[in-house]
Structure 1
Amino acid sequence: MTNSSLSCPVYNVLKPFPYFFYLVFLVGIIGSCFAAWTFKQNTINQKCISIYLINLLTADFLLTLALPVKITVDLGVAPWKLRIFHCQVTACLIYINMYLSIIFLAFVSIDRCLQLTHSYKIYRIQEPGFAKMISTVVWLMILLIMVPNIMLPIKHIDEKPNVGCMEFKQELGRNWHLLTNFLSLAIFLNFSVIILISNCLVIRQLYKNKDNENYPNVKRALINILLVTGAYVICFVPYHIVRIPYTLSQTEVITDCPTRISLFKAKEATLLLAVSNLCFDPILYYHLSQSFRLKFTETFTSNTEMKTKEEKSSCEDKE
């Protein structure tokens, strides 16, 4: 693999990706900080959907910790130890965020489906206690799959350019990396089916109520569904189309150099889409959480009113 990395400079084609990752980081950290402040103001009478959104926000903060390191490494200005740290730790945090986001978006879709279809037979699923329990189980499951990639020992490699993270892994680490990819793909496929079924049931229910007097509420619910589905498809589907062939190029099942370079470019481009969920999530919070929406409106309405009063007072002073 080391000889191959010298003859095929796969990892020299990173630009301009770091600059786009930096833009995602800036937009995402602002939105996530505001969302955290908003949710902190409303800690009483939490609903299931708020619990899932708070867990989604927590996963987003893991991503904000990882992105600055990835950007520094991809720009080629990181010291050697930081590059090793990225391969061992921060790259793993990116994937932890990705699959937590997929699962909690599925839970959000399920909760919306149960609310609109009034499925009282399984009402206990909509209790906050159940939401907290299942969220804990999800975190433990994802960490159990991903954390061994951090903990397993790595090989010592002399400092050199054009090194991929796979080159640091010993045989056990490579095998676990492959297993992690297939488990992650299974998570993606299963929860994609859940999102698809939930949203189809909701759309059918909304179609039945299209002639009701509550049409504005129906329309708002439909917009929420389209937002969740659209964000999910844009962020995560392209990455998982590319992931398996890229993994095969990492393990040198695919050895053709131009193909490996093309797959690496495709992986970085689709990974950029995947981490862009950091920017989409605050929009979801606004549309899916009433407490978040009220706090957001209250904050910016009060700021606008204060500016208006200041402008009026300044005009009066001039007169």
Structure 2
Amino acid sequence: MRNPNTSICVINVNMVPFATLYILIFLIGMATSLVALWAFITSQSAKMCINVYLINLLTSDFLLMLALPVKIAKNLGNESLSLTIFHCQVSAPLIYINMYASIIFLSFISVQRYLQITRSSKLLRLQEVGFAVLMSAVVWFLVLFINVPNMAILIKGNLPDKHQLTCSNLKEDLGKHWHALSVFLGMAIFFNASAAVLLSNGLVLKQLWGRHESELEDQASPRHAFINIALVTLAYVVCFVPYHAVRMPYTFTQIEFITDCSLKKSLFLAKESTLLLSILHLCFDPVLYFVICHGFRHQVTKAFSNRHSVPNSDPE
């Protein structure tokens, strides 16, 4: 039997600190993503397999930046019903489209990085640009198939008359059930992609460590690559693992399986905190571009070196 007190349980209070952090992430992410866009446009090596995945990752990040201003406005306390509806039907699904597209593309990048280092001739097909384009199209179809119904399924006709509505308050039973299904599918994507990321990066780190041990005369390059891949792996774990640890318990509050108000508040706070961590990847992705993509690194390095160089045109 449904607890009657759940209808008056307000969980999304004191969200201003989250809004402040989202503003910082948005500004940093926008600046670095625009630099990344410029570097990819001007780079001569854009048509490489791994760069196809990087460019799709950047596209996903721009979708996230379209959604963040609405989430910031909500967290600052704007209780406009039209804004709430827009957030629940457009900007929130865009956030999850970005999250799972990013997770899959990061797994593809990790696998491609491993194939580059091992130079396996048996898997040349996986390193072709055409294959990368095809897989990118499959990824976008998958994440859109999972999340677009959350945009399309109609909300309730008679909305509850209360402040600080959550998205689950607006959904009919069909919308809640599809949302729960999309969470399960997202968890499946996360576990499979994480296995690919951790296994591929682990094998790369093992190979780089072997080179670090054997190439005593030139250890700088293997050591530098080892540190870079280790940091990329750590960033992936920090951004995405905590969120998925609390996502399923929080979903149970949305479908009224968990009705205790204090527990719902705790799970909501945990979900919002870990969601903030996952959106932080917007700031980490440009670092990934710099580490992985030679063309991107060359363009950025050349731009900054030109800016800091002082021409000496005075005659001696």
TM-score (norm 1): 0.92
SS in 2 for 1:161: coil
CA drift of 1:101 comes to: 0.8
Aligned-partner residue type, residue 244 of structure 1:
M
Q: Superposition pairs for residues 111-260 of structure 1, below 5 Å?
A: 111-156=112-157, 157=159, 160-210=162-212, 211-212=214-215, 213-260=217-264
Contact 2:39 2:299 in 1 (8 A): yes
**RMSD (Å), alpha carbons:** 2.0
Percent identity for Structure 1 against Structure 2: 48
CA drift of 1:224 comes to: 2.7
The separation in 2 between residues aligned to 1:290 and 1:265, in whole angstroms, is 40
CA drift of 1:43 comes to: 5.1
SS in 2 for 1:10: coil
1:281 paired with 2:285, answer yes
The separation in 2 between residues aligned to 1:239 and 1:287, in whole angstroms, is 25
The separation in 2 between residues aligned to 1:125 and 1:272, in whole angstroms, is 33
SS in 2 for 1:153: coil
1:266 paired with 2:266, answer no
The separation in 2 between residues aligned to 1:183 and 1:219, in whole angstroms, is 38
Contact 2:201 2:229 in 1 (8 A): yes
Tell me the alpha carbon deviations over residues 227-248 of structure 1, each in whole angstroms, 9 at most, x when there is no partner. 2211100100000001011111
CA drift of 1:134 comes to: 0.6
SS in 2 for 1:294: helix
CA drift of 1:119 comes to: 1.2
Contact 1:62 1:93 in 2 (8 A): yes
The separation in 1 between residues aligned to 2:29 and 2:252, in whole angstroms, is 31
CA drift of 1:158 comes to: 5.2
- 2:38 corresponds to which residue? 37
1:299 paired with 2:303, answer yes
TM-score (norm 2): 0.93
Q: Flag the 1:11–1:5 CA change in 2: closer, same or farther, 3 A.
A: farther
Aligned residues: 311
SS in 2 for 1:102: helix
Gaps of 5+ in 2: none
Q: Flag the 1:280–1:2 CA change in 2: closer, same or farther, 3 A.
A: farther
CA drift of 1:118 comes to: 1.7
